Amino acid sequence: MTQHSIVPPGAARATGLAAAAVLTLLAGAAKAPAQVAAGDKLVPIPLQLPKPMFEGTPQNLSVPNLQKPLGRPRDPFLAPAGVANVSKAKKVASSDMEPVIGELEQVTDGDKKGAEGSFVELGPGLQHVTIDLGAAHEVFAVVLWHFHKTPRVYFDVVVQLADDAAFTKNVRTVFNNDHDNTAKLGAGTDMNYVETSEGKLVDAKGGKARFVRAYSRGNSANELNHYVEVEVFGRPAK
């Protein structure tokens, strides 16, 4: 399994010129994600958000490396025109094929509500859900809703793309906040975040993949793993 850390921790402090050089080097070394063609018109992805279940910023979460809430709606995410949710009703597999509550189909059924009955609950420890897009797609964004009825942080969130269901071929990590490598997928540099109705939007940079996998290892309220929905915004690969 290969790992790619896109930006080293020190890169943000480098001068503009040096940072650009580092990024150019990294881009050159990365395993050629599909590029946005010069003629592609960029527009906001057609993301529809569920109703918020709570207001304000939670104060009582003692989670290290926690991202400060933006305090306003997230900026629209731009992708080439025509990019759509390509995961709706697609087949879902999991490390826990017999969920404690709910069914795996709920991960891609389009119901993103925070209410009881709108999530699937997987067992404790490191678990994943894996979505089969049915064919190779250029993936621009992955949006995750674990559980957003109450403010909560899910641990060791790792999102990967791959060419095969077993995640042995062309595996790319597009998000990883497992900073101490508990999940043994490589240490990540992304931050912990509080679940909200906005979901977590992960930039997948147009990478070509048929399979999308999301890991977690319990949360700040209990050891279980939940999914309300995962949406993959992409387009069929040429």
Residues in contact with Ca ion by the rule CB under 5 A: 106, 109, 111, 156, 178, 180, 182, 229
CB closer to Ca ion, 34 vs 126? 126
CB of 178 to Ca ion, least distance (A): 4
CB of 237 to Ca ion, least distance (A): 25
CB of 123 to Ca ion, least distance (A): 18
CB closer to Ca ion, 156 vs 195? 156
Half-sphere exposure (CA, 13 Å, Cβ side) for 57? 9
Structure token pair of residue 177: 């906040």
With CB atoms as reference, the residue minimizing the distance to Ca ion is: 182
CB of 101 to Ca ion, least distance (A): 13
CB of 127 to Ca ion, least distance (A): 14
Residue 63, amino acid: V
CB closer to Ca ion, 178 vs 195? 178
For residues 79 and 45, the answer to whether their CB atoms sit within 8 Å is: yes
CB closer to Ca ion, 34 vs 228? 228
- Backbone φ, ψ for residue 165 (5° rounding): -65, -30
CB closer to Ca ion, 92 vs 161? 92
CB closer to Ca ion, 168 vs 182? 182
CB of 60 to Ca ion, least distance (A): 21
The number of beta carbons lying within 10 Å of the beta carbon of residue 4 is 15
CB closer to Ca ion, 109 vs 132? 109
CB of 43 to Ca ion, least distance (A): 25
Report the alpha-carbon distance of residue 228 to residue 115 in Å, rounded.
Answer: 9
- Backbone φ, ψ for residue 21 (5° rounding): -65, -45
